[in-house]
Amino acid sequence: MPRQRGKAAIDRGRTRAIAAGLTALATFAIATPAAAQSTGGTSPGAPPSAAPRLSAPPPGVVVRPAPQLRTWRCVRECADAQTAATGALVRIRGRRLGRVYEVVFLGSESADDDVAAAPLRRKKHVVDVRVPLGAVGGPLLVADRDGLQSGPSATALAVQAPVALKVAGAAPTVEVQAQARRAFYDAARPAKVSYVVHGESPSTVVVELLRAKDSAVVARWDVGEVAPDTPQSVVWDGSAGTRVAATGRYVFRVSAVNPSGQRAVSAQAPQQAEPDPAAFQFLTHEFPIRGPHVYGTGSASFGGGRGHQGHDVFAACGTPLTAARGGVVQFKQYHSRAGHYIVIDGQRTGVDYAYMHLRQAALVKAGDRVRTGQLLGYVGDTGSASGCHLHFEMWTAPGWYDGGRPFDPLPSMVAWDKTS
């Protein structure tokens, strides 16, 4: 089945709508098409992908620009200013860095080798970060929690192979790194952990995924024998037994036992001063508008005194619209009132999600399997719409105009907006 894939940035959930809250006067960040689409995997100076021009933002918004990365250099445990191994300290200078959520080590053109690390320290003009395990040579960028990101750095980091210390008879040691700070259920890029076991001989490895709040083990991989100093990875599909795991913080734990019975376990110190590289946030949905937006009120609300079956969220025409939850496209149609719309049967939810007034026909078609965060189209005002907005509906099983009933999507949207 052909699958329309979103732009890399959108697949990867980098460019996110900001939390507008319920007030009409939200702080707004204008994601220009270039900012919204430029991303990890992009080499410095690469032209931005084509995207529709944005209309003027809705009234009542305050524009907040993206962080800027000006320069960076390796300052501790470095081979030289641009060359370092895992664990070295990199200092980034720029503007508006106070809200930086992650530093992305972009590696090569492909997004698959991107690794994002939490800053150790951040101030208005400076961010410190350690080179994460699994980072490969390439430029860096910084992104804030809302997905506003700098362009890629002009200079590329050269990653050195770490020097493995071999001490005879020593117990193995384990290094662990979650590939991203956030992972969305059913996204094109699932949660992934990279790890390396250091030691003299192969070790038997078990990887577990723990729910941070109570350390309950929600998934486990009996990896078997693993060669020393060889990078490994495990991917988690978001399942906890037969169900989808709840939104929240999770931690990968890697245990290794060598033939002498000596054991090493990662992630033993959640109270450590530095951000835990094995931890990440898991989210069951991603907020679908990737840019500045404001929630409608009154008649734009669910019900709205007029039998309004969804909630309207206003954003500039041309703002990328992505799947809040992956699933299968049930309908892609045009209607005189709804305009261009699309209905997606949410993966493992029973809920149908409807997106209306798209600027033009959706980029996916009926029957397509779409992923959480996948680009569906752009905010528009087709059909009967006063102002560019997304009309969003959620319907209970068995589905949209198929025996289900609509319910107020606002609490869900607000929750997704806060976390994604």
Whole-number minimum distance, CB 385 to Zn ion, in Å? 8
Residue 312 or 345 with smaller CB distance to Zn ion: 312
Based on the shown chain and the rule CB under 5 A, indicate whether residue 312 belongs to the binding site for Zn ion: yes
Whole-number minimum distance, CB 406 to Zn ion, in Å? 11
10 Å CB burial of residue 370 (0-12, 13-18, 19+) is buried
Residue 139 or 296 with smaller CB distance to Zn ion: 296
Neighbours of 251 (CB within 10 A): 21
Residue 252 or 400 with smaller CB distance to Zn ion: 400
Whole-number minimum distance, CB 349 to Zn ion, in Å? 22
Query: DSSP character for 265?
Result: E
Cis peptide bond N-terminal to 398, omega within 30: yes
Distance CA 405, CA 401 (A): 8
Whole-number minimum distance, CB 312 to Zn ion, in Å? 4
Whole-number minimum distance, CB 308 to Zn ion, in Å? 6
- Tokens 């996204």 appear where? 187
Based on the shown chain and the rule CB under 5 A, indicate whether residue 357 belongs to the binding site for Zn ion: no
Distance CA 1, CA 367 (A): 8
Residue 147 or 296 with smaller CB distance to Zn ion: 296
Whole-number minimum distance, CB 76 to Zn ion, in Å? 54
Based on the shown chain and the rule CB under 5 A, indicate whether residue 340 belongs to the binding site for Zn ion: no
What mask, x for binding Zn ion by CB under 5 A, covers residues 255 to 294?
Answer: ----------------------------------------
Whole-number minimum distance, CB 321 to Zn ion, in Å? 14
What mask, x for binding Zn ion by CB under 5 A, covers residues 206 to 245?
Answer: ----------------------------------------
DSSP H or E segment with residue 67: none
Cα–Cα distance list, 115 to 10, 15, 58, 64 (Å)? 16, 16, 35, 26
Helix (H, G, I), strand (E, B) or coil at 14: coil
Query: Which 97-156 positions form the footprint of Zn ion (CB under 5 A)?
Result: none
Residue 359 or 391 with smaller CB distance to Zn ion: 391
CA-nearest of 417, 327, 326, 413 to 372 is: 326
Q: Are 341 and 361 in contact (CB under 8 A)?
A: no
Residue 198 or 391 with smaller CB distance to Zn ion: 391
Residue 271 or 386 with smaller CB distance to Zn ion: 386
Q: Are 181 and 102 in contact (CB under 8 A)?
A: yes
**Phi, psi at 143, each rounded to 5°:** -135, 145
Query: Which 382-401 positions form the footprint of Zn ion (CB under 5 A)?
Result: 391
Q: How many residues bind Zn ion (CB under 5 A)?
A: 2
Report the interface residues with Zn ion, using CB under 5 A: 312, 391
